[in-house]
Amino acid sequence: MPIGLAFFWEYDNMKNNLRQVLKSPKFMIGFCFIIFILVFILLYPLFNPGDPLEMIGVGTFFKPGTYVSTYDTLGAPRQYTLRMADAAERRVAAKLQPEDREGLRAWLLAYGIAESDIDIDDAAELLRTWWEHYSPDIRISGMIRADHNKYVRLDAKLDGLFDSDDVALLRIDAETGEYAEAGFITDTDYVHIDDIANVVFLPLGTDNFGRDVLKLLVSATGASLQMGLVAGVIATVIGLTLGLLSGYIGGLFDDVVQFFNNTLTVIPGFILLVLISYAIGQEQRGTMTVALVIGLTSWVWTARSVRSQVLSLRNRDHVNLSKLSGHSLGRIIVTDILPYIASYVVMAFILQISSAILAEAGLSMLGLGPKTTEQFTLGLMMNWGMSFGAHINGAWWAYYPVILVIALISFSLNLMNTGLDQIFNPQLRD
């Protein structure tokens, strides 16, 4: 086949492969996930503006849900009277704490009640069983006095569960300074949520500083993606440049590049990243600084892989024709070699972004991530949650969503890479 026809045939084949990208289910699924994340982090601040670091909660780890101002509930413009048949039972069930239920269960078991007859999830049935068998005068064999007194206090606490007396509202008279009766609240008084002035919806609750976790998560996701993109560009450009030149030029230049490549390959990349981040210091570690460090320490495998691809291309007929035509080194690399490895470079770039996000999360978990005074990331959110005992306090919303977002981003990027690999790798092509 003539050289010109061979060149155009391969080039046309590459274009056909590119057209198949949008037909790859794996690539499109991963791409759609990434687009969804990007659209969400762009649109969410429009619906919930404000500083993500604003401490709205006076306390730590408020659980997810809707919060209603008690003060505005009492001052709602209209009160409604509803008679709910099971309102009293639900009120009792809410007041009976899990530790109280376990305490009732422990005494009943010690008394001799079969475990199958004790249902701690049914508050009414549990209390019925308790009042049927318990008496302060009963002494359980082997139970110490302290435990006996604990159950006496628990029984006294249960006596007031069904109380539904009206609650009186008092206001301070501005002139006399004395309390004056302002009204009553009964157990049948209800307020519509739309009539309450201040209602706050916290889908993921608050963190250890009392900040909206979802607002933090959206902002941190954008920062981590930005860091991953910057680190990925740096690592890919360095690796691609050194790989192209090393593979095509060869000789002494190739030996020097391979020396550094082999040296950095022996040293674990993350250890090198930790040492450099520690040496920089906390005050100098901004998000872009950390991204730069990640990029400068993660180009090795890209350079090695690109070099191996160039070695198989530099003696192709169309490359030799360009040499004989007197074309410059830059033109040969850019026009005759780079298009044939472009798909591989894109896949390497995608993996570099994913690796950079995971590397930042690992650094931040060790306390070596970006300084919090500038911008926070997904890794810093994990660090905050673990440092302030979110896992110990059962505050799953402070760290599980972060883990899920990191996993979703990595999964999506790797799925895109797998889809591309199946298209451009003849051994995996369907």
Q: Is residue 214 over pLDDT 60?
A: yes
pLDDT tens digits along 367-378: 888 876 667 899
Looking at residue 406, what is its pLDDT? 95
pLDDT tens digits along 318-363: 777 877 777 788 888 888 888 888 888 899 999 999 999 999 999 8
Q: For residues 128 and 357, which has the higher predicted lDDT (pLDDT)?
A: 357
Q: Is 281 helix (H, G, I), strand (E, B) or coil?
A: coil
Average pLDDT (70-83) is: 85
Tokens of 75: 């001052």
- CB-based contacts of 307, cutoff 8 Å, min separation 6: 242, 243, 244, 246, 247, 254, 257
Q: Is residue 14 over pLDDT 80?
A: no
Q: Which domains does the chain have, with CATH numbers?
A: 3-56+209-424 (1.10.3720.10), 68-83+163-199 (no CATH), 97-158 (no CATH)
Distance from C-alpha of 212 to C-alpha of 217, rounded to nearest angstrom: 9
For 259, the enclosing helix (H) or strand (E) is helix 251-266
Q: 313, 195, 189: which is closest to 247 by C-alpha? A: 313
Q: Is 184 helix (H, G, I), strand (E, B) or coil?
A: strand
Q: For residues 267 and 130, which has the higher predicted lDDT (pLDDT)?
A: 130
Residues 230/360, Cβ–Cβ less than 8 Å:
no
Looking at residue 369, what is its pLDDT? 83
Looking at residue 3, what is its pLDDT? 45
Looking at residue 29, what is its pLDDT? 93
pLDDT tier for residue 96 given thresholds of 50, 70 and 90:
confident
